[in-house]
Structure 1
C-alpha cells in the first residue's frame, strides 16, 4: 500500500467526492488526459490508501463512488489536504490557458511569466504556441513573437472576445459556471478552471457582476433562463475585463440596432460595473447583441399570437418540408410548431449576427437520429436558405430534438392491441410474442388464441402463423421467428391502420366539437362585426401604431391611447411582426387600457420597410391589428389564436386582408376563427 497519494491520485479522489453520483472510468481518463489503464492503476492505489480510514471505492451504475461513514470521510479529506491550483492542467488544456491569457492581455506577454503561471518551462510553451497560433488563425487572429518583446495576439477586438467566449464555454458550461459561483471556497478551488477565473476577475468581481445582472435583468422581456443568464454574465465579464485593459471595439463594425430597451439595460450594466469608464456606444451595442441572443421565451401576458410571427411562419414551412420528406404527420402538431418557433426566435438572431451556440447533445442526436438530422438540415437549407441563413450543426441538432420528441409522442400516443394465433404450440406463440415486443414497443399482445377460439374483440389486428379465412380484422401471417420481411409486413399494416385511425379520429373530433363550434361561430360573428378597415398614409410603422391606438379609443374599445401604444411597442420589441414574403405585418398586444377586443386592418397608400428575417427588410402594405384586455375572455383568446394560426397556413386569409372589401375581410376572418381544419 502506498504511504501517500500522488497529486493525480488526489485529484481523482476529489473528482469522485465532488460528483454526487460518482465518476466513470472514461470520464476520469478524459478529464486527466490519461489512459483507462492509468486510471485503473491509480484507483487501486487510492483503494489501498483510503482503506486505512475505513472507506471503500465501489462501482454503482458503472460509476466509482466512495462509501463509508461521514466522519471517516472528513478525516480522509484532512489527510489529503488542498490540491495545487495547477493540478488539473494537462498538456492539452495547457494550450487553452495559454490562448486565454494571451487573448485577455492587451499587449505582449513574456513566455517566462506564462511558464511560471502554468509551472512549465518557457521552452515547452514555445512549442505549444504553434498549435495556439493555428487555432487563432482560423478565427482571424494572429500571434506576434519577437525576441525580447514577448508574445502578443493581434486582430479584430470583436473576434478576440468571441474566441475568448468560445474557449471559456469549452471549459465550463453555463450551468456548471452557475454551480461554481455558488460553491464553497474549497470546492471552487478544486475545479480546474476556477484559478483562471479568480486570477482575472477576482471572487469579489465575479460576485459584483452577478449581483448587478440579477438586478438589471429582472424586468427584461423575454426573460433569461439560468443557462442564458450565466452565458450572458460571461460576455459581460470578458467585455469589462477587456475595457479595463484599454481595448476598444471598432465603432464602424456595428449597425444601428432597434433594441433600445436592451441597449438601455446594457448601458446601465456597464455604468455600474465600470463606474469610472463612460460606456462607449459600440460596447453597449455589442452586449445588447448578446443579450438579445440569450433571450429564450416570450412573455405570455403581452401577446396574443403564440410567438414571434416570423418565427412561427418559418416553423410552419419547416414542418411542411419535413412532413413531405419523412412522410409522417407533423403540421397538426401544435407542440412541435410552438417548440420550433420558440427555438427559431433567438436562433435567427444568433445565425444572422454570427453568434455561436453550444450543443453538448449534438453527438448523441446525430447517433440516435441520423435520418431526422439530415432531413432537418435539408429543410433548413430550403427554408432558411431563401434568406441567406446557413444553420450550423448545433442549431440543426436542437431542431432535430424537437422533431424527435414529436415522433416519440406519436409513437407513445397509440398502442396497438394484438392477438396471436399460433397452432404450433405455446413455445412458438411465446417466441412470436417476444419478437413482437422487441420489434414493436407500441404493440401490446392481449391474448394468445387457438384458431377455433379466436375472439375478434379487444384487439386492432391479428398476427398468425397460418392463414385465417373470413376475418373482419386485418391479419398478418408471419413466421414465429419474425424475419425482416415479416417485420416489414407488420410495419406496413400499422401504417395503414394509423392512416385509417387518423381519419376516424378527425370525424369523431368534428362530431364532438360541432356544438362547441356553433358557440364559437356566434362569438366569432360578434367579434368580426366590429372589425374596421381603413386606408391610411402612414410613412412609418410608428405612425401606424399611433393610428391604431387612437382608433381603438375612438370606437370605444380602449380608454387610454398612450397605454395601448405602450403595449404594442412592448410586444413589437419582442421580435419580428412580419409574415415573410406576404406584405403583411401584425401588431398585437394585451393591455388594461383595452375595454373590449379590437381588430383593425390598415392598408398603406405607400408600402413601408419593416425588419423581417435576420437583418432583411420586408415591404409591407397591410397591417393587421389585434388587441385584447389582459383579462380577456378565454373564448375570445381562443378565436384570436385560430386567426393567428390561419395567418401562417391560409394564403386566402392573407389575400383577403390585403385586397378584399370589408365584407370579404370579415367573411374570411370569420371562417378562420370558427373553422378548424387541422
Structure 2
C-alpha cells in the first residue's frame, strides 16, 4: 500500500483542490502530459492515502474526478504534514522536469538504458515515454547534433561527437548560475571536493598568467574540466584534427592549459592526452576578455582580428540602415562589440556553447536590441562563416541595448529654435522662461529674427517655437505662442513635449485586425496575415518568406500567449502592426500563443522604433491586458481597448 505521494500525485491533488468542478482524466492527462491510464492508476493509489486522511477522490461517469473532504481537521493535518515532509521519492512531476531528468540520466550513463527501467522509475507508461518525453529529448539533442540510438533488448543511448556530448552535459547537468558551482548530480560527475580543487587550480593559474575572466567564464571552464576528467576516466576522448592541435599549440593559451592540466593530473590522478589539452586551450581562447572599454587603438587592433573589426562596421551600418537607431557614431559600441566578439568567435568556430541565463528576459524586455542582434548574427554568419545561436544573439543584444539607452539619454532633451519678431530682448525672455520651466526636456539652441530664418540649418532641430506665422512648409513641427508666455502657451508646449516622447504614431490600422481566427500553426498564421497584407497592397509577395526566414533565426514568441513575428528587412514605407487573435492557443516553438502582432518595420527614418516597442511591451508584458484583447469581439472594441492601454 502506498504511504507517500509521488510528485505527480501531488500535482493531481493540487489540480483537484484548485476547482470545485469535476476534471476528466483526459484534462488531467493533458496538463501533466501523461496518459489517461496513468492518471487513473495514480488516482487509485492516491485514494489509498486519502481514505485515511479525511478525503476521497470521487469518480462520476461522464463528468470526471472531484475531491470530497469528509473530515476537515484530518485533511488539514494531512496537507500540513505533506508540505513539511520532503519527498522520499524525488520523482519529477511536470513534463518539463521529466524530460530533463531522463536527459541527464542518458548523458551520464556509460551504456544503454532500457525504456522499461525509465518508465518504472518515473511511474509512467512506455507510451508516455515514447510519445512525449523521447520526442522532446530528441529535439534537445538535435541542437547539439546528437541522436538517440535504439538497440533491441538493450535500450537507448546518446551518440554523437564527444565535444557536443560534453556541451550538452554542461548545459543540462550543471547549474551554472551559481558561484561557486552547483551540480544536480555532482557525485555522478566528480565528488564536490574534487570540483572545488579544479576551480581553485584554474583560479590560481589564470591569475598568475594575468588572464581576465568573468565569474561565469571561470565557472564554465571549471565545469568543462570536471566533465573532461569524468569522460577521460570512462575512456571517452575529444578528438581534434592534427592541424587543429598544431594551430593551437603555439598559442599562449595552450601553455596555460598545460600548466592547469599538470596540476589537475597530480591532484586527481587522471591523465590528459594532447588533444584534451588543446580542447581546454580552446575554452581559454573563448573565455578570456579585456575589461577596459577605453583600450588604446593599438591594443584593440592587436586583440581583435581585422575580419572581426570589419564585420562589426557592417553590423553597425546595417542596424542603422534597417532600424534607424543612429548608432554609427557610437565608438563605445564598436569597442564593446569587438571585445565581446573576438573571444566569442574563437568559441563559435569550434561550436562551443555559452549558455545565456538572461535570454528570455532579454527577448521580452529589449526586443529592439534583440532584433538588432539578429541582424548582427546574419552579418557574422555571412562574413565569418560561423553559426550564431540564440544565446549568443542575446549577449550581443546587451551591448546594442546599452548603446540604444545611451542614445536615448542623449535624445531626451529636445532641441528647438525661437523665432521672434519683436527683438532680442523679448526673444531672450522667452528662452529663459522656457528653459527654467523645462530644464531637463528642452534646449533652446538659438533665438533668431524672422528675416534670418532661411539662413538656419534645421538638421539637428526637433521643432520651432515662433511668435509670428511662418508661411514656408517645414520638415519639422512649428508651435505658435504669444510673445509674453501665458499659462495656455506653457501648457501647449508641455503637451507637445509629452506627445513627441510618447507618440503612438498610428501603428494600428482597423483593416489589419483579425479576431478569433481558426488557425492551427505559426506558419498558417504568418501565411494568412501575409496574404491579407499583399492583397491590400501594403507589402510585396516576398514578405511572407522574409518573416519565416526571420523566425528560423530565433523564435518571436515571448510567453504570455504572445508572438511578434516580423520580416528581416523593411517592406513598407511606414511602420504598422497587423493583429490576429486565435480561437485556441497554438504551439509556437514551445510557447502557447493566442495573440499575434505581425510587425512591418517601415523605411520611414523618422519613426521612433524604440517608442513603438515600448508601447508594444506595455501590452504584451501584462497578462491581463493580453487576455482582455483576446476576448474582444469586434475591431471597434479592440481599438478602443488597446488605445486605452497605450
Q: Under a length normalisation based on structure 2, what TM-score does the superposition of the two structures give?
A: 0.48
Q: Under a length normalisation based on structure 1, what TM-score does the superposition of the two structures give?
A: 0.46
